[in-house]
Structure 1
């Protein structure tokens, strides 16, 4: 999918193929025995329910004319039992299908989420979060009922039609043919509406996705919205998106309702024809009153499965629009993945080498071109330069968050494209510019970097980054519960917790991307003491604008014009009075 935003409809890259539905059946087959049991119960329930009209015919034609009260009571009891048995079996079947449906939801959502975790950063750069979220939650929910009850009901309604047809022809074949006369008209209606339904529900899918995307964006930036008093403008945008969704929904429902409207009218005409033919054309005694009443009952039962099938078809068309989106996401290529012959990254010392590295986020627009440099084990490297020059890109390539456009990156002589992603990234400690705090305790957030960390290790890491003091000042210390995003902490405190999370993994290569940007000068001064001790023996890449953070690094590289324009120590670059010198002077 191309770059997208909340007010742009998504476009499916490929038209729907029945293979999508066959693919969905993989999830159904996992619970086939539950489905078979439910189908069996449904079939028995349907057959038992069809006995009722025969009992009615027997009562009207035989028991009532003969005044046989015991026989009438017997037939009434049989009729009541048929209803009770049918309802009980239907209830049991519904419980089985509800459980199977929830299991299918779990399986589909698990597979979808697992695939999303493998997709590269580029996938998330190209689309709003809300449009991803709606596929995992809403769309999966919408297809689950079709894959369970929808399939069972479709098969059941086919069986119902077969059983009802057999019963009708056993009562009166001539009247049965009158009922069948409306079927060709129904088929023509469905053929005409098929494509309109699919397009209508794709429109609903698009507008729902747009609305969810904007809602997610608005919630994430609510502080900014209120700070700039943008509530009215944003409400106007949301109304526009909601109106578009409502119109798309009404259009789709209108098409759906036309199917039911058509069937209802066809059934009414057929029922009228049934009485006309039975009473006036054939007439009594060639056809009995009981037979006409039974056939009228069967006519209603015959068209009810057809109405149900039409409704199931509507739901199928609706679900197809969602299946297309779900499978489109599952089919999104994992561009950054392990090579077929990938091996585990061995223990490393931390030597890093970039050889003629070129990279572009978009084809033909290189961010870096032919970048080459070597970092010795244990060296600290500062990356500085103007915004957008490629500093973060350089460290992202080292972690293989993106694959190179050209060239190669080596760690201790190992081409990082040849080792497994897991073994590569577990050698690194990465703290990005945006520090995210998960819901849970502060202790849980720090342990995120090392799941088996002890409380002593957690506190030691926090002390190293000067986070222990403020954490112990909280109501429950390290057991203090955090909201999602850590909104009860200041920006600097969130960064310190994130720093501790990175450091506790004891990485051989440390990447700090604007790690001290939200930390006040006093805290940063204390933090530098711990960092100098921590950086010993570790290869580190530090991206920062503050002079105090970078001047003690072993080497400083100025990134500009798609490459490295200057490299050296702080004193060497200041003496050259080039780009770095100008940057430092601008901070004074």
Structure 2
């Protein structure tokens, strides 16, 4: 049977511009301001190391021209001591320069990454709706990592190299201006090569970065979807696709390296030509106006110190290009304002006293496509309210608005007569506890997860909550009890066990208003019975808003709200709604027919 061709995937990538963006670099360098003392000290060490290095050829010139011809042993010995001293000073200052530069650079990266992480945590849910997790992680990790070379070595090295270039040039012209001028006739040739190769190098490395981004995306997708891959036995096909992806990276990388490596030999050639000019023209000057052998030796040494930093300086421009592009994406996130903001003078609600009220609430995730239309209802303290309706009817959106993960475009939501927009985030979310359909556990121990909302709580308090919910027994049977490590998302536990731990975490926080977002819909029958029993204990004497997929669990609700396409179509108790034989009645009878058919 013919097999369909499997093409290499192309992942959507952001258009990346590698033009120098000075305003973003200025913003980036502001992160250096708290460490300007350390940077200044680094530059001092750098300058001393550079001067010590540049003194050596001049000392050698003095030895060759003044002391060796006269067989002045003391003078030669003094020069030798001075050479050793300059070498020691150079090495010690260079060591301290590198240490301080790396410390300063890492502190700057720490501050940038922390600022990004703190800001991302403050952003509204709408931002995460529009942006993938992978894209956000790339900002905090990869984009900041690309600044590593710039801040740890790049800035200090470019100052070092510029100082070395300038000082070497000044010294050469001060020793013999005519010989220096002739020596630097090779510089225009170098500049021509630099401008000819720079664009090609930049273009090819840009292509490499795109290929690597494609590789990372494919790896991320495959690891995330490993269960589906194994279920469909796609390993062999995916292996072939992955080979194409890494081959693509390999080819583009080798091409970029090939072009990049041409630059080094060009610099060597220019340096060699310069050296030949020194010897050719210098020998002529020896006969004409007394250029000494020491001068020629010093010139060759200084020429080496001139060309040595050139490669670093030319690469620094590429570092700036990458840094400006990364900084643009970093500041793009930092400039985003949270859509859900706390009031300048928020009200702290210490307790829930009376009621929750939705008044003519309209909400849209995008444009004017409203998913909630004119929602009005009231929940009294101690009541259980159930939200029912087909998928997409707006049930989860209502509870998201109550927790103020979003704000309505029209209407208002009140707790005890106070608009949610006036209530502080901390007090609002201390009052409200949410049990989600998909339980989420963090890496760490089971105890860490139970204490997540109240880290100051004691072990005895955590155990007491677990015993109350009937969770203590299964936790105690694990290899390390409450100190058993769980992987990210709790993959070592069943969905029911994870949900029970999440309930313990919630009950330890002791919220007065409870939201249950289809908390048992993903469970098997036995796990559902365990979780439902725990839920009954949690909801007792609390105000509860329940999104139910099994209508039998909400028969005793004080008020059932039936939603259809974002509108309330029915409200009442179970018995009153069944007697109407409307939408709710149809939902009940269809579930009964489904259960009987099963």
Asked if the contact 1:42–1:89 (Cα under 8 Å) also holds between the matched residues in 2, the reply is: yes
- CA shift at 1:19, angstroms? 1.9
- Give the superposition deviation at 1:253: 5.1
Give the direction of change, closer, same or farther, for the CA distance of 1:553–1:182 in structure 2 (3 Å limit): farther
The answer to whether 1:52 aligns with 2:76 is: no
Partner of 1:315: 319
Distance 1:194 1:350 in 2: 70
- Deviation string 1:329-377 (CA, Å, 9 cap, x unpaired) is 2223322222334433453226222222222222243222222222222
Q: 1:99 aligns with which of 80, 84, 103?
A: 103
Q: Is the 8 A contact 1:377 1:537 kept in 2?
A: no
Aligned residues: 584
Which segment drifts farther, 217-226 or 433-442?
Answer: 217-226
Select which of 70, 80, 84 maps to 1:76: 80
More deviation in 441-450 or 367-376? 367-376
Once the two structures are TM-superposed, the CA of residue 67 in structure 1 deviates from its matched residue by 3.6
Q: In the aligned structure 1, how far is the partner of 2:96 from the partner of 2:29?
A: 23
How far did 1:64 drift? 3.2
The partner residue of 1:344 within 345, 348, 351 is 348
Shift of residue 559, structure 1, vs aligned partner? 2.2
1:415 correspondence with 2:419: yes
SS in 2 for 1:174: helix
Answer whether contact 1:12 1:325 (CA < 8 A) is retained. Answer: no
Which residue of 142, 145, 148 corresponds with 1:144?
148
For residues 361-380 of structure 1, the aligned pairs below 5 Å read 361-380=365-384
Determine the structure 2 residue equivalent to 1:131.
135
C-alpha contact (below 8 Å) 1:466/1:523 kept by paired residues: no
Counterpart in the other structure of 2:450:
446
Out of 409, 418, 428, the residue aligned to residue 424 of structure 1 is 428
Distance in 2, Cα, partners of 1:377 & 1:238: 57
- Kindly indicate whether residue 45 of structure 2 is the aligned counterpart of residue 41 of structure 1: yes
Contact 1:6-1:128 at 8 Å conserved across structures: no
Q: Please say if residues 344 and 420 of structure 1, whose CA atoms lie closer than 8 Å, have aligned partners that are also in contact.
A: yes
Q: Classify 1:24/1:199 alpha carbon distance in 2 versus 1 (closer, same or farther; 3 Å).
A: farther
**Which one is further off, 66-75 or 443-452?**
66-75
Residue from 554, 564, 568 that aligns with 2:568? 564
Change beyond 3 A, Cα 1:190–1:115:
farther
Q: Which residue of 1 aligns with 2:307?
A: 303
* Superimposed CA distance per residue, residues 469-525 of structure 1 (whole angstroms, 9 cap, x where no aligned partner): 211222222222222222221111011111111222111211111212244434544
CA RMSD in angstroms, aligned pairs only: 2.9
Deviation at 1:526, TM superposition (A): 5.1
d(CA) in 2 for partners of 1:422, 1:244: 50
- Aligned counterparts of 2:251 and 2:337: Cα–Cα separation in 1: 34
- Aligned CA distance change for structure 1 residues 385 and 259 (closer, same or farther; 3 Å): farther
Q: CA deviation at 1:400?
A: 1.7
What does residue range 141-540 of structure 1 map to in structure 2 within 5 Å?
141-184=145-188, 186-187=190-191, 204-243=208-247, 245-246=249-250, 249=253, 256-257=260-261, 259-260=263-264, 262-280=266-284, 283-349=287-353, 351-525=355-529, 527-540=531-544
Look up the SS of the partner of 2:342 in the other structure: coil
Give the Cα separation in 2 of the matches to 1:568 and 1:305.
80
- The answer as to whether partners of 1:367 and 1:562 remain within 8 angstroms in 2 is yes
Given the superposition, is the C-alpha separation of residues 459 and 165 from structure 1 closer, same or farther in structure 2, using an over 3 Å criterion? same
| Structure 1 position 382, deviation (Å) | 1.6
SS of corresponding position for 1:181: helix
Classify the secondary structure of the residue corresponding to 1:400.
coil
CA distance in 2, matches of 1:103, 1:259: 33
Q: 1:21 aligns to what?
A: 25
- Stretches of 4+ aligned residues off by more than 6 angstroms: 192-199
**Matched residue SS, 2:227:** helix
Question: In structure 1, the residue corresponding to 2:439 is in which secondary structure?
Answer: coil
**Contact 1:135–1:326, Cα closer than 8 Å, also in 2:** yes
Q: Residues 182 and 421 (structure 1 numbering): CA distance in 2 closer, same or farther, change over 3 Å? A: farther
User: Partner residue of 1:581?
Assistant: 585
Query: 1:134 touches 1:212 (CA, 8 Å); kept in 2?
Result: no
Q: Deviations over 1:301-343 (max 9, x none)?
A: 1122232211222222222232222222222332222233443
Q: Which 10-residue stretch deviates more, 502-511 or 79-88?
A: 79-88
Identify if the C-alpha distance between structure 1 residues 113 and 226 changes in structure 2 by more than 3 Å, giving closer, same or farther: same
Q: For residue 114 of structure 1, report the CA deviation from its aligned partner.
A: 0.3
The farther-off stretch of 19-28 and 112-121 is 19-28
Q: Classify 1:557/1:22 alpha carbon distance in 2 versus 1 (closer, same or farther; 3 Å).
A: same
| Aligned CA distance change for structure 1 residues 568 and 208 (closer, same or farther; 3 Å) | farther
The normalised TM-score by structure 1 is 0.90
Q: 1:155 to 1:211 in 2, by over 3 A?
A: same
CA distance in structure 1 between the aligned counterparts of 2:253 and 2:343, rounded to whole angstroms: 45
**1:227 CA drift (Å):** 2.4
The Cα shift of 1:290 comes to 2.1
8 A contact 2:20–2:320 mirrored in 1: no
CA distance 1:395–1:324, shift in 2 (3 Å): same
SS of alignment partner, residue 347 of structure 2: coil
Change (3 A) 1:226 1:489: same
Please give the alpha-carbon distance, in whole angstroms, between the structure 1 residues aligned to 2:260 and 2:340: 43
- Match of 1:353, SS state, is strand
Q: Secondary structure at the match of 1:31?
A: helix
